[in-house]
Structure 1
Amino acid sequence: MSLTPHDWAVFTAAFLTSTVEWVEAYTIVLAVAVTVGWRSAGSATIAGLATVTALIAMTGGALSLGLDIHWLRLVIGILLLLFGLRWLAKAVARSAGLIALHDEAAAYAKTRESLSRADRRAAWLVAYKGVLLEGLEVWLIVVALGYRQGEFGPVSMAALLGLVAVVLLGIALRAPLTRVPENAIKFAVGSALLAFGTFWTAEGLGGEAAWPLSDWSILLLFALFAGSGLLAVQWHRGRALRLRAGGEA
């Protein structure tokens, strides 16, 4: 089966989104493993992944029952808009220096410090909760992108590949994955999710005729959001420099 540019864009967005979420989950699991052992951390991870997998299976099954209706497209489009806006806004703020970049090493140290006062059961729950909460965002992306594609297999495979990549890196390094360009990935994925969300929201409101260029409109939307994000970064940086210069004067 040949994949269209639209299919590759969906697959890539799902893979990158999942990878970032799994990196954050891995940091928590690693802190638990170092503190109380790999057996507890591993069982908590398996339990969390099993919960996320069950949610994806149940939701995918429900949405595959012929619910091809405009209001559901609209809801999924709005969800992607909200999700993408949060990612892009945070990436812009971090790139512009308005908030600190996410630091996996610092998150790891903070988690270990909190675990130093916890027993084995509490540590297990920390690992389970970490995997589950990050996995819920993966669940949202897989369900939203998979439903719109009409097939959950490829999108689920993208999320699984992201998980495998993080696990293999984790096994090799046994340390927080600090070199993953998380903010750059969030910037790109946020722009992509906003593009998909805008495209599908408009389809939900006006049907497929809303986009004369069909799926190619997504590339234009992506360029629009990414370009706007880059301009926002430059504007905030310039404003910060002007304020700093004014304060020094």
Structure 2
Amino acid sequence: MDWPAFLPLFLTAGVEWVEAFTIVLAVSLTIGWAAALGAAAAGLGTLAVLTVATGGALSAGLNMQAIQFVIGVFLLLFGVRWMAKAIARQAGLKPLHDEDAEFRETRARIGRADWFAAWLVAYKGTLMEGLEVWLIVVAFSLHSRAWVSNGIAALAALLVVFTTGLAIRAPLRRVPENAIKFIVGAMIVSFGTFWTLEALAGAVWPLGDWSLLGLEAFFLAGGQALVPLVRGRRVAAA
């Protein structure tokens, strides 16, 4: 079990699955729950096929140092994007992500479409959000080899989100998405920094995996320090 990666994977996957569920819910009000859940299942099935088809190729005879560098850069880009959006939202430069608004927009869009088009909306939404989860799981697993525990983290998040969503039958608007993206973004940037520098320098960090805690604290503190600076620039520009 790769415990350092379990929490960021669970939270990252949870945010993506919330967005997927919001789309599926909107579609269900047009074509029914059975069809909407069938589209979501088809999207998840496509992900499963992709995983099986690429599983061997991802780990067969590849240069692990080069893979670690590519994974580190990918995580840096992904995490920095999440942190930048979270900082901008907290500073007031961007509106907070609104699941209710996304739900209404999706429902309005599919209200003008036929049955199959609505089904495709649910399929595409589940597949695209799931692909982001899949890429993160692959990135973490190629380094740690903890495919099972990382997969369990993503599946556990899927189960929690969809079970909760089906129980309340409403967009999961109470999920503090911006706070989660801020924290998880810092975690992912920490992992990206850890693996990228390790691949470039070919050295082990002095404290091993515990160095990730220091990196996480550094990026969280740095991100929070940027919020008032960004907000001040916005006020000055206004």
Q: TM-score, normalised by structure 2?
A: 0.95
Tell me the alpha carbon deviations over residues 4-61 of structure 1, each in whole angstroms, 9 at most, x when there is no partner: xxx3220001100000000000000000001111121011100100111222333333
- The residue identity in structure 2 corresponding to 1:132 is L
Tell me the alpha carbon deviations over residues 41-94 of structure 1, each in whole angstroms, 9 at most, x when there is no partner: 011100100111222333333223353521111111111011101111111111
Structure 2: which 5+ residue stretches go unaligned?
none
- After alignment, is 64-73 or 151-160 more displaced? 64-73
Find the counterpart in structure 2 of residue 25 from structure 1.
Answer: 20
Query: Are residues 1:235 and 2:229 paired?
Result: yes
Find the counterpart in structure 2 of residue 215 from structure 1.
Answer: 209
SS at match of 2:208: coil
Structure 1: which 5+ residue stretches go unaligned?
245-249
- The residue identity in structure 2 corresponding to 1:229 is G
Aligned 1:72-221 pairs, distance under 5 A? 72-209=67-204, 211-221=205-215
Once the two structures are TM-superposed, the CA of residue 215 in structure 1 deviates from its matched residue by 1.3
The one of 4, 8, 33 equivalent to 2:3 is 8
Decide whether the 8 Å contact of 1:208 with 1:214 is kept in 2. no
Decide whether the 8 Å contact of 1:92 with 1:229 is kept in 2. yes
Q: CA RMSD in A?
A: 1.4
Find the counterpart in structure 1 of residue 55 from structure 2.
Answer: 60
SS at match of 1:208: coil
Once the two structures are TM-superposed, the CA of residue 242 in structure 1 deviates from its matched residue by 4.7
- The alignment covers a number of residue pairs equal to 238
Q: How far apart are the structure 2 equivalents of 1:59 and 1:81? A: 23
Between the aligned residues of both structures, percent identity stands at 55
Q: How far apart are the structure 2 equivalents of 1:152 and 1:234? A: 40
Find the counterpart in structure 2 of residue 224 from structure 1.
Answer: 218
Q: How far apart are the structure 1 equivalents of 2:194 and 2:217? A: 13
Tell me the alpha carbon deviations over residues 136-169 of structure 1, each in whole angstroms, 9 at most, x when there is no partner: 1001110001111112100000000000000111
Q: TM-score, normalised by structure 1?
A: 0.91
